[in-house]
Homo-oligomer: A and B are copies of this chain.
Amino acid sequence: MKIGFIGFGEVALTLASGFLMHGIEVSTCIKDRSQKTQKTAKKLELNLYESNRELAETSDFLISAVTPSSAIKIAQDVGEYVKGIYIDINNISPSTAKKALSLIKNGKIVDASIIGPVRKGINVPIIASGPFADEFSKLNEYGMNITVIGSNIGQASAIKILRSSFTKGISALLFETLYPAYEMGIDKEVLKYISETEGEEFKESAKSRIISSAFHAKRRYEEMNEIIELLEETEDPKINKAIQDFYKELHEKLDNLDKRPENYLELFELIKKLKNHQ
């Protein structure tokens, strides 16, 4: 059995290393890739092809692990030549996944999403959907941790997006509740009584969520686009739209936040100062 990777960044490297330990043949194409990637691929003794076309023609499982913006382009390039099962594991929206996978002519396609930190190794939880998701899950024999969600393309990426939208939303809501509490001098108490309802772990995670919201405000604001696009297919997502506005404003307010604040009080102090300077 041959497993091929298009793209050879962190995800591909992690999964490939796991497959190699299970004695499986791993291939990629390193043409036009960085020196570092070429070196890594050679060190791991991968099968190296001159083109993605050759890679597509010879792989039993072809995993697309590229930058999200290249997912469609790559599928277009290899679509005619894919012989085995093509898995899109990129961090993309369901509609992008549908577009990309529709370009794979043999129809042996899987929409896959990594749920959790990829540094966990080959057994990082992965959810998969699509007509060939069951086939893909046979790779669990070689250390993978794939859960098949359904038979439609888009389901796996939708789950990932909806989970992340909820996480972003809670963080924003917490911020909108706790900053006024800070100005009123009751932030510690509000956090305490919220945590009594939400459970033990909430308090510590709340503090780091507030800091992350500020530090990643721009990225979150941008990522909200695909969340809203997905939700809009069903209902008008008012709350998520307001959450996007929240991150946009927070980003604009904190334009010059170049290092991660140590704690949420330091951050709130900064916001108060900026407000008073206006």
A residues near B, CB below 8 A? 115, 127, 149-150, 152, 154-155, 158-160, 162-163, 165-167, 169-170, 172-174, 176-181, 183-186, 189-190, 193-194, 196-202, 230-231, 233-235, 237-243, 245-246
Residues in B with CB closer than 8 Å to A189 are 127, 149, 155, 159
* Residue of A158, A166, A246 ringed by the most chain B CB atoms within 10 A: A166
Pair A162/B180 contact, Cβ less than 8 Å: yes
Pair A238/B234 contact, Cβ less than 8 Å: no
Known: A177-B162, A235-B179, A239-B246. Is A185-B150 also a contact (CB below 8 A)?
yes
Q: List 23 A-B contacts (CB under 8 A).
A: A115-B196, A149-B186, A155-B185, A155-B186, A155-B189, A158-B181, A159-B181, A159-B193, A162-B177, A162-B181, A162-B186, A165-B177, A170-B170, A170-B173, A173-B173, A173-B239, A176-B237, A176-B240, A179-B235, A180-B230, A183-B234, A184-B234, A238-B246
Pair A166/B173 contact, Cβ less than 8 Å: yes
Q: How far is the CB of A85 from chain B (nearest CB, A)?
A: 22
Residues in B with CB closer than 8 Å to A177 are 162, 165-166, 169, 231
Q: How far is the CB of A169 from chain B (nearest CB, A)?
A: 5
Pair A242/B238 contact, Cβ less than 8 Å: yes
What is the oligomeric copy number? 2
How far, in angstroms, from A155 to B189 measured CA to CA in the complex? 10
Pair B239/A163 contact, Cβ less than 8 Å: no
Pair A245/B235 contact, Cβ less than 8 Å: no
* Residue of A152, A178, A181 ringed by the most chain B CB atoms within 10 A: A181
How far, in angstroms, from A237 to B185 measured CA to CA in the complex? 18
Pair A176/B231 contact, Cβ less than 8 Å: yes
Q: How far is the CB of A187 from chain B (nearest CB, A)?
A: 9
Residues in B with CB closer than 8 Å to A184 are 154-155, 158, 234
Q: A155-B185, A166-B174 are in contact. List 4 more A-B contacts (CB 8 A).
A: A155-B184, A158-B186, A159-B186, A166-B194
